[in-house]
């Protein structure tokens, strides 16, 4: 795919993912145009003054809840990356209808606007919390996944193809536990919900490059899951503050002890490749089946969860990963 001929729209483009995605795209791929679609004029202004002011960038104020605005923004667009979401678990629990309006109805608007505007590819960002969800945020992302995947079935005469990526925690992103631990370090006490807790972990750049790769190779209907390492949250705490006291406060409402990115039920339609898993739609007469030729079906009863992962980060590896964030925190760049 020739990126220099593509017009790309990013919903939620002023977020952590959006900024990193746009930076890498501009530096390495030089698309014809990138449209940053978000609802916050201040964040757009701050992004522009922070150096995101290339002639090929366009700032478009709008909400994914607004179908007509989405249709206007997508005129002439080739690729949509759907990253806009309400993602803070407590906020979604306290404001359930707002989460539904943005994460489910907003995703429906993205799909419909893309179909009506002749967009070629839509790749939506999902989360491990969409697998066997225990909170409303996860439930809304599961519904959004289903909307995106199944919309291939009624694309009809349109050339639009739609897929998802699903991955775990991003190191140092907004809402990450890393800044929390760094803030608590000076007090000599770190709060941990449960000392058995494990998490999948990847960097923001890894997440962005995974998205770019799968935009290039998607056929429509897949959920792409990267192979990434797990870490024990207690090891992360030790890496940041080895001498600090650990205060075990108990699991919060809507929180899991371990994360899962592929369930046993999904494994029946999952293909394993060297660096990722591809979850195929179960009933997809419109699906080409090319992935079955590129990889192998996973074993019966397979699950991909953070507690039984085959790859784990050791303490020294964790320290290397968090070193840049410690420097940013010391300079006041990470809050």
Q: Higher model confidence: residue 44 or residue 251?
A: 44
Question: Which residue range is the domain that position 15 belongs to?
Answer: 3-168+202-227+262-305
CB atoms inside a 10 Å sphere around CB 27: 8
- 18 within some domain: yes
69-110 pLDDT tens trace: 999 999 999 999 999 999 988 899 999 999 999 999 999 999
CA distances from 243 to 51, 93, 171, 187 (A): 39, 35, 22, 11
- What counts of helices (H) and strands (E) characterise the chain? 12, 17
Question: Is pLDDT of 321 > 90?
Answer: no
Active site includes 146?
Answer: no
CA distances from 91 to 94, 135, 254 (A): 5, 11, 11
- 28 within some domain: yes
Total number of domains in the chain: 1
DSSP-derived pairing of the beta strands 161-167 and 121-127: parallel
Helix (H, G, I), strand (E, B) or coil at 210: helix
pLDDT band at 293 (very low <50, low <70, confident <90, very high): confident
Sheet holding 169-170, edge to edge: 169-170, 198-202, 230-232
DSSP-derived pairing of the beta strands 121-127 and 79-82: parallel
- 316 within some domain: no
The strand pairing partners of 122, in sequence order, are: 80, 162
User: What does pLDDT average to over the chain?
Assistant: 92
**Residue in 23, 31, 57 with CA at minimum distance from that of residue 215:** 31
- 320 within some domain: no
- 327 within some domain: no
Minimum mean pLDDT range among 111-115, 185-189, 208-212, 262-266:
185-189
Catalytic residue, from 121, 129, 141, 232: name it.
129
Question: Average pLDDT for residues 184-201, to the nearest whole number?
Answer: 91
pLDDT band at 169 (very low <50, low <70, confident <90, very high): confident
CB atoms inside a 10 Å sphere around CB 59: 19
Question: Average pLDDT for residues 119-133, to the nearest whole number?
Answer: 96
pLDDT band at 323 (very low <50, low <70, confident <90, very high): confident
Please name the residues in contact with 1: beta carbons below 8 A apart, sequence gap of 6 or more. Answer: 215, 216
Q: Give the whole-angstrom CA distance, residue 123 versus residue 83.
A: 9
Question: Is pLDDT of 173 > 80?
Answer: no
- 65 within some domain: yes
294-307 pLDDT tens trace: 899 999 899 999 99
DSSP-derived pairing of the beta strands 296-297 and 270-272: antiparallel
Q: Higher model confidence: residue 138 or residue 171?
A: 138
Residue 124 CB burial class (10 angstroms; 0-12, 13-18, ≥19): buried
Q: Is the pTM of this model over 0.85?
A: yes
Domain with 108 in it: what CATH number?
Answer: 3.40.50.720
Angle between helices 315-330 and 233-240 (to 10 degrees): 50
The strand pairing partners of 270, in sequence order, are: 279
pLDDT band at 286 (very low <50, low <70, confident <90, very high): low
Question: Is pLDDT of 285 > 70?
Answer: no
Whole-number CA gyration radius for the chain: 20
pLDDT score recorded for residue 75: 96
Question: Average pLDDT for residues 197-223, to the nearest whole number?
Answer: 94
Question: Is pLDDT of 278 > 80?
Answer: yes
pLDDT band at 117 (very low <50, low <70, confident <90, very high): very high
pLDDT score recorded for residue 196: 94
pLDDT score recorded for residue 161: 94
pLDDT score recorded for residue 64: 98
How does DSSP classify residue 144? H
- 248 within some domain: no
| Strand segments (E) across 78-174 | 79-82, 121-127, 161-167, 169-170
Q: What is the largest CA-CA distance in the chain?
A: 62
- 188 within some domain: no
């Amino acid at each position: 795919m020739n990126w220099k001929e593509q017009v790309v729209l990013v919903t939620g483009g002023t977020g952590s993912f959006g900024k990193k995605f746009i930076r890498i795209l501009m530096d390495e791929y030089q698309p014809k145009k990138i449209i940053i679609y978000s609802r916050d004029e201040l964040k757009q202004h701050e992004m522009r003054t922070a150096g995101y002011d290339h002639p090929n960038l366009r700032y478009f104020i709008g909400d994914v809840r607004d179908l007509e605005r989405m249709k206007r923004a997508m005129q002439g667009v080739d690729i949509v990356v759907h990253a806009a979401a309400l993602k803070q678990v407590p906020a979604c629990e306290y404001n359930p209808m707002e989460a539904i309006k943005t994460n489910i109805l907003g995703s429906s608007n993205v799909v419909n606007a893309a179909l009506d505007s002749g967009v070629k590819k839509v790749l939506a960002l999902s989360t491990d919390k969409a697998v066997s969800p225990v909170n409303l945020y996860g439930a809304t992302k599961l519904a959004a996944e289903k909307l995106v995947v199944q919309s291939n079935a009624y694309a009809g005469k349109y050339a639009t193809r739609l897929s998802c990526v699903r991955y775990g925690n991003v190191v140092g992103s907004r809402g990450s536990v890393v800044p929390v631990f760094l803030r608590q370090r000076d007090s000599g006490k770190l709060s941990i919900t449960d000392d058995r807790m494990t998490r999948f972990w990847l960097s923001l750049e890894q997440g962005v490059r995974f998205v770019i790769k799968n935009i290039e190779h998607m056929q429509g209907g897949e959920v792409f899951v990267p192979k990434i390492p797990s870490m024990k949250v207690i090891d992360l705490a030790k890496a940041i503050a080895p001498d600090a006291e650990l205060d075990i406060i108990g699991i919060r409402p809507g929180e899991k002890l371990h994360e899962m990115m592929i369930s046993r039920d999904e494994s029946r339609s999952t293909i394993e490749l060297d660096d990722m898993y591809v979850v195929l739609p179960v009933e997809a007469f419109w699906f080409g089946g090319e992935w079955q030729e590129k990889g192998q079906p996973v074993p019966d009863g397979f699950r991909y969860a953070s507690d039984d992962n085959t790859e784990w980060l050791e303490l020294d590896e964790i320290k290397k990963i968090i070193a840049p964030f410690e420097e940013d925190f010391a300079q006041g760049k990470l809050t």
